[in-house]
Structures are given as structure tokens and as C-alpha cells.
Chain A
């Protein structure tokens, strides 16, 4: 079946602009996760959604970062006023039990 999909695959933006990254989880998966992968920081958890529970936002690095999940499916990660240190690959994962399945990621470059 279809895996986790993310769009765009690449995004280049200028410092100070807002960006939106999209994640489509595997159908039927109730949990959705966002991670960030960068050379300096490795793989970091950002936020996760599980069913109707309040999201765990404990990994968001600043209030410029936010995410929502509509209808228990698609999620959008928004970064406002982007900074150069936001450059990274943003990975989305979904699960219906213990194993998280990852999408291909969005590579964000902030100039």
C-alpha cells in the first residue's frame, strides 16, 4: 500500500519567510510524528499527534514552529519567520502501533 508522503520534497526560502510542510500519513494510522534531521543536531523529535488527544509539542524548538492535523489525517508543519538554523530535512512518520513508518522527508534550505 501507499506509504507516508511528504510535500514538497525540496523547499528553498529566504530568511524571514514562512513555510508550510505537508505530511500525508498511511491510511488508518492514528499517530503522526514530525522529526527534524540536521548535521549538527542529528534526528530530533518535534511534535506528535495521537487520535483526539492533545498533541505532544515538547520538541518544538521555538514558538515560530507550529503544526496541525486536520481530520485525523493530513498534517501541516508551519515555520514562521524562517532562520538559517531551520535548514534541515523534516521527516514525518505515522504509526498505528509501536512501529513508526517514515516518509521521504522535505529538505528545507533557508538562504
Chain B
């Protein structure tokens, strides 16, 4: 079974509009972390935002926010005021296991976001 599911292979958004990239996850571990990374065409993986399973509030980092719905096991990324430079592949990832900050990430298949001027 897929642990991380990103159902949108591609998304389009108009510049300055907001966009939501979907991510659902599957784990029986009560302690886990959820991450979003951006991968531009240059290939580098850029960390965007983190949400811990016990965090009470949704994470925010500048124009990025994470819509965390624990009961539905979803962790959607919201990008506000899209910019042309936001065009990239976006990956949702999960690390399972508490008691440590370390451990492997399991990635979704990614969503290609294209921002139109």
C-alpha cells in the first residue's frame, strides 16, 4: 500500500492566485512527521515546510502553509500568491517513528506545478 499519495500529477495556477497540492498518508504510528519539498528543473530538493503529528496548529512558512487534517490523514500544501518561480515538482514526504528526529523519508510521486503569467 502506498504510504504517501499525491493524486495530482500536474496542476496549473495563475500567477498571484493560491493553489493547494494534495497529499494523503497512511501510517499506524502515532508519532510521525510530514514534509514538503520543492524540486525545480535544476534538480535540487528544497525543504519547504514541516508538520509534526502532535502539532496542534497548522505549520506556516511565509507563503507556504500546511493544511493538516489528522483524522483524514491529509497534509495538503497551500501556496498563496503564486509566483512564476514556484513552477516545479513538489513532493510530500513522511518520517515515521517517535523518540528521534532521524529516519528515512518516504516520498509521494510528486505533483508538477506550473504557474502561468
Contacts and interface: CB of A to CB of B under 8 A. Distances in A.
B77 to A, nearest CB: 16
B105 interface: yes
Contact of A45 (B44, B45, B105): B105
A2 to B, nearest CB: 14
B25 interface: no
A56 B105 CA distance: 12
A39 B105 CA distance: 18
B44 A100 contact: no
B76 interface: no
B33, B45, B95: residue with the most chain A Cβ atoms closer than 10 Å: B45
A104 interface: yes
Contacts, number: 53
Nearest to B42: A104
A104 B104 contact: no
* Interface size band for A: 20 to 34
Contacts of A101: 47
Contact of B102 (A35, A45, A48): A48
Contacts of B44: 102-105
Nearest to B37: A102
B106 interface: yes
A99 interface: yes
Contacts of A56: 103-104
Interface of B: 33, 35, 37, 42-47, 50, 91, 93, 95, 101-110
18 contacts: A33-B104, A35-B105, A42-B107, A43-B91, A43-B110, A48-B102, A48-B103, A48-B104, A56-B104, A93-B45, A95-B102, A99-B47, A100-B35, A102-B44, A102-B46, A103-B44, A104-B44, A105-B44
Interface of A: 31, 33, 35, 42-45, 48, 50, 56, 58-59, 89, 91, 93, 95, 97-105
